[in-house]
Chain A
């Protein structure tokens, strides 16, 4: 009997800030688009459980893309990128996500990202509240310093292992060992992009003092954070959500910084709460 997954992969070519990218994405499901961003230095397989979640894909078109320089999305097609140091900025990251949603002609998408994806979710809500039906900021905060480290690319150490084992402690001991090791394995593949991603995560992303500018009526924000996350703790996310109009926070016990990848079975329970919270805001608005 065939065991072919319903998940399909596609490439779409788009232009952002003068750079041409051929972007790979996986998708499954029908309904409102749920656009999913992986964590820094990783790729879209982190969303493998969600992409095959029958209940959620019955109501949502789940789209999990690889950010350029990650997974199967190459660096820019029209630039000599190898002559520059990669340092992701909030401007380019936000422009990319909007360009991707435009290229896929998505209507009323919900954006969900984890870690540096959770942080950019806040940037999207701030800058493009009318382009998104809402955002789910997973393991996000207004500010997350401390991870823009030279160790990720130090030539005297094994960068693959430093990146993979350096993020190992971000996962909860309760998460299945096989899923934690898959996440470790993904991280052994992305060291060149990891540090540049963290330029956004720990340096360029700083919304301290600006959370009040996020219009949570036009673009509702729900934040979800695992208790084993040592970078963005539940307290950080709760504080951030508390400063956003209509901001909601869902604490996630017994899970860490890569919830969708380290333990989808646990994460999905909180995700369903988060999606329901977004739909409640929408219903209240239309009511």
Chain B
């Protein structure tokens, strides 16, 4: 099964991602202070994920340039994000540090906010292995 068939549309992907995060035991156990918003930029698709106290309260799909504010951005090509959506990602598609050091991923904006929430963000991004790629 390909990532594309696991996430048939951008809105369906956004809903599945929010559901996976909000029912994840690790984020539930450790997300009490997990509050931030970030742009997941997959080039062909963009999402702004808004989290409050460990709960995804909104995922904006392809927002306009000034529609939704966010703290930081995780940007990469669609091809890189598709690698993240594999159940067992190939090397360098297996995390935001790996893809930033060795592929085309970029971490931009308030990186301090990313670092403050690194544990739960890391877990959220790993959920792509279950939910599928965002693009």
Interface string of A150-165 (1 = CB under 8 A from B): 0100101110011011
Q: Which residue in chain B gives the minimum CB-CB distance to A151?
A: B115
Among residues 71 to 115 in chain B, which have CB atoms less than 8 Å away from a CB atom of chain A?
A: 88-89, 91-92, 94-98, 101-102, 111-112, 115
Q: Is the CB of B96 within 8 A of A169?
A: yes
**How many angstroms between the C-alpha atoms of A172 and B118 in the bound complex?**
18
A168 interfacial contact with B, CB 8 Å: yes
Question: Which chain B residues border A231 with CB–CB below 8 Å?
Answer: 101
Q: Is the CB of B115 within 8 A of A230?
A: no
Q: Which residue in chain A gives the minimum CB-CB distance to B92?
A: A230
Q: Is the CB of A173 within 8 A of B116?
A: no
**How many angstroms between the C-alpha atoms of A217 and B95 in the bound complex?**
40
Question: Which chain B residues border A165 with CB–CB below 8 Å?
Answer: 118-119, 122
Question: Which chain A residues border B116 with CB–CB below 8 Å?
Answer: 156-158
When A151-B115, A157-B112, A166-B118 are in contact, do A172 and B94 touch as well, CB less than 8 Å?
A: yes
A-B contacts, CB under 8 A, total = 54
A233 interfacial contact with B, CB 8 Å: yes
A30 interfacial contact with B, CB 8 Å: no
Closest chain A CB from B127 CB (angstroms): 13
Query: Which of A146, A157, A172, A228 sits near B115, CB closer than 8 Å?
Result: A157
Closest chain B CB from A191 CB (angstroms): 12
B6 interfacial contact with A, CB 8 Å: no
Most buried by B among A158, A162, A164, A165: A165
Most buried by B among A172, A228, A231: A228
What DSSP secondary structure best describes chain B's contact surface? helix
What DSSP secondary structure best describes chain A's contact surface? loop
Closest chain B CB from A60 CB (angstroms): 30
Q: Which residue in chain B gives the minimum CB-CB distance to A253?
A: B91
Q: Is the CB of A230 within 8 A of B101?
A: yes
A273 interfacial contact with B, CB 8 Å: no
Q: Is the CB of B119 within 8 A of A230?
A: no
A13 interfacial contact with B, CB 8 Å: no
**How many angstroms between the C-alpha atoms of A146 and B91 in the bound complex?**
19
**How many angstroms between the C-alpha atoms of A164 and B94 in the bound complex?**
16
Q: Is the CB of A233 within 8 A of B122?
A: no
Query: Which of A156, A161, A230 sits near B97, CB closer than 8 Å?
Result: A230
Question: Which chain B residues border A162 with CB–CB below 8 Å?
Answer: 115, 118
Query: Which of B98, B112, B118, B129 sits near A228, CB closer than 8 Å?
Result: B98
Interface string of A197-240 (1 = CB under 8 A from B): 00000000000000000000000000000011011010000000
Closest chain B CB from A235 CB (angstroms): 10
Q: Is the CB of A169 within 8 A of B118?
A: no
Most buried by A among B88, B97, B115, B116: B115
Question: Which chain B residues border A230 with CB–CB below 8 Å?
Answer: 91-92, 95, 97-98, 101-102
Query: Which of B101, B112, B119 sits near A164, CB closer than 8 Å?
Result: B119
With contacts A156-B116, A173-B129, A174-B88 known, what are 14 further pairs, Cβ within 8 A? A151-B115, A154-B112, A166-B97, A168-B97, A169-B94, A169-B95, A169-B96, A169-B97, A169-B98, A170-B98, A173-B89, A227-B91, A230-B92, A230-B98
Task: List, sorted by A's number, 25 A–B pairs whose CB atoms are closer than 8 Å.
Answer: A146-B101, A154-B112, A154-B115, A156-B116, A157-B112, A157-B116, A157-B118, A161-B118, A161-B119, A165-B118, A165-B122, A166-B97, A168-B97, A169-B94, A170-B98, A172-B91, A173-B89, A173-B129, A174-B88, A227-B91, A228-B91, A228-B94, A230-B95, A230-B97, A233-B102
Residues of A within 8 A of B (CB): 146, 151, 154, 156-158, 161-162, 164-166, 168-170, 172-174, 227-228, 230-231, 233
The 8 closest A-B pairs by CB, nearest first: A169-B95, A230-B98, A169-B97, A157-B115, A165-B118, A169-B98, A230-B101, A161-B119
